[in-house]
Amino acid sequence: MAVIGFIGLGNMGGPMAINLVNAGHSVKVFDLSSEAIKHVVTKGGLAASSAVEAAQESDVVISMLPSGKHVEGLYVSSSQPLFDVVKKDALIIDSSTIDAATAKRVCEIAEQRGLSFVDAPVSGGVAGAVAGTLAIMVGATDAQFAEAKPILLNMGQNIFHAGASGAGQIAKCCNNMLLSVLMAGTAEALNMGVKNGLDPAVLSQIMLQSSGNNWALQKYNPYPNVMEGVPSSNGYQGGFQVDLMYKDLGLAMDISHQSGSPAPMGSQAKSLYSMHKSKGNGALDFSSIMQLYQD
């Protein structure tokens, strides 16, 4: 069993760290929020007083932070960067969703210093983090992936080697851009059906058995009370926030521009989420884009 330093114990990082504890690892945890640390400590985590303390004697360091600037700050540019203190043979895994350019830059700096850093963003939401069923897409060398996979299997079910450094972040962006398009399109079709007198449950059944079938209809119907146990039937609480989808679409647009890959559908979805967010809906689940059509 490994000694693991885990930094960033929010909605996702908290349950991921707990799953590592449950798998028998010794997990030293740190977050800027002492409440977040306390929660993981009640489940068997070991409190660290700083990110440095969590990381410096650990075999594996995992971070789950909001964005690229937090990740770069933690490892490279803060007053006590972790690259200065980690063990030379430690495996460093960043599971935050960040821009691929930052992920690659931090990886290059790690390489220059003889350290091993991989990007391993996740998909599956808070429910997947709690259940340990996340999909995890890794940007790494073959050797790094082989080393990371057994650790990642404690937090996820489907672990993919997406490619070299940064490829995990690109794969995550492609997936979430497609998800946003599917969700907006599903809401658009349901709204048009309902406005023309159809029952949303009946229309959902028809589309599920027809060529419009997709993940949003199967697992995450955006129309209230069509499906049990999803955010749309719970006032759009919980789930995956509009703010985070908007952030991910911004990352996708950056990749689109940098690589010259046209993304008109993703761009349209970003505009829709931008309008929805500007109406004060940033904290709602992303399936609440339904309300933009209903309004």
Question: Applying CB under 6 A, which residues contact ligand NAD?
Answer: 7-13, 30-33, 36, 51, 64-66, 70, 74, 96-97, 122-123, 125-126, 240, 244
CB 17 to ligand NAD: min, Å: 11
The whole-angstrom separation of Cα 27 and Cα 47 is 9
| Closest CB to ligand NAD among residues 8, 139 | 8
33 Cβ partners below 8 Å, 6+ apart? 9
CB 244 to ligand NAD: min, Å: 5
End-to-end CA distance of the chain: 53
| Closest CB to ligand NAD among residues 66, 163 | 66
Q: Residue 5: phi, psi to the nearest 5?
A: -100, 125
The whole-angstrom separation of Cα 175 and Cα 285 is 17
The whole-angstrom separation of Cα 169 and Cα 269 is 19
Active site residue 172: yes
CB 167 to ligand NAD: min, Å: 16
User: In angstroms, what CA-CA distances link 51 with 17, 62, 79?
Assistant: 14, 11, 12
CB 287 to ligand NAD: min, Å: 12
The catalytically annotated residue of 104, 172, 270, 277 is 172
Segment holding 60, helix H or strand E = strand 60-63
| Closest CB to ligand NAD among residues 8, 224 | 8
Cβ-proximal residue to ligand NAD, closest one: 10
| Closest CB to ligand NAD among residues 9, 140 | 9
The whole-angstrom separation of Cα 168 and Cα 160 is 8
Catalytic residue numbers, as ranges: 172
